[in-house]
A = this chain, B = another copy of it.
Amino acid sequence: MIEIYLLEQFCAFARCGTLLKASEELHVTQPTLSRSMKKLEQELGVQLFHRKNSKLSLNETGKLAAEFAEKVLIANQDLIDHVHAYDRSLRTISIGSCSPFPINELMPTFQSYLPGKTILTELSDSDEKLLSNLINRQYDLVILHSLPEDKNLFCQRFMDERIYISLEESHPIAGKESVFFEELRGIRILMSVNVGFWMDICRRHLSEADLLIQNSMDALDELVEASSLPFFNSDRMIELGYQVPGRVSLPISDEDAHATYWVVCRTEDQAKYRSIFNVVRGYAIKHDERLA
């Protein structure tokens, strides 16, 4: 067997063309490489280099060897990467969501029922991406706004959300009970970039130029304070007390301004997250009771 350090040095030479450049890349001295290349030849029992005019270069055997050496290094790096990833996955839970609200709402639940685990959350604008990344184990849990049909997935309804538009009381349409997206056309509206699939919904109904998209919640809050511009809100946010003085919030009546969230895991993991799903079911029941 050939030790890895020899192959690393050999591949560096194959890439760099001279021992000097390779030695700089590897942060070793050049005689070290000269010696190593000899040792590699000796251990393989085969000529790997042309030595001509104090110029070292790979011969045909050497080129072949370099290809295979590269594969060994890749396999070695693979070992390291996969072991690290697996070890990490033992201490980490990855959660993908189509929307920020359910994540925020469930975070305390995650933290109390997954003690000691690092919770990693990610927003996505597409349920399909979330699902495929759930199946390929990149995510352990996902929160969708549609119910997937796959017997390998376990799904639990969570809660509903409808988006609102928050306007100055003096705004022409502030007196209405509710509005359609249609009626918001031509009005410049503030919104955050981190709203998951809602971004798609808004873009579908409104023109790009009307959406004043902010990269951070801080920037958004500041502009809401400092300006009279409308911004998007939701029934859930209002419930949590997110109302700005001097403004009214009107529900948006369109069908797709409303979402029902589902929490989903792979069926094999169902037992692992039972406590979490119990909490999620609690939300759904409470919601149903409120409707009744």
Contact = CB atoms under 8 A, between A and B. Distances in A.
Interface in A206-227: none
B79 A65 contact: yes
A83 B71 contact: no
A44 B4 contact: no
Contacts of A86: 60-61, 64
A69 interface: yes
Contacts of A84: 44-46
Nearest to A73: B1
A122 interface: no
Given A72-B75, A75-B72, A78-B68, A83 B4 contact: no
Interface in A79-127: 79-80, 82-84, 86-87, 90
Chain A at the B interface: SS class: helix
A60 B65 CA distance: 34
Contact of A76 (B45, B72, B83): B72
Contacts of A68: 75, 78-79, 82-83
Count of chain copies: 2
A68 B83 CA distance: 9
A41 to B, nearest CB: 10
A80 B2 contact: yes
26 contacts: A1-B8, A1-B73, A1-B76, A1-B77, A1-B80, A3-B3, A3-B5, A4-B4, A7-B79, A44-B80, A44-B83, A44-B84, A46-B83, A60-B86, A60-B90, A61-B86, A64-B82, A64-B83, A64-B86, A65-B83, A68-B82, A69-B79, A72-B72, A72-B78, A72-B79, A74-B75
Q: A46, A60, A73, A78 — which one has the most chain B CB atoms within 10 A of its CB?
A: A46
A82 B63 CA distance: 12
A1 B1 contact: no
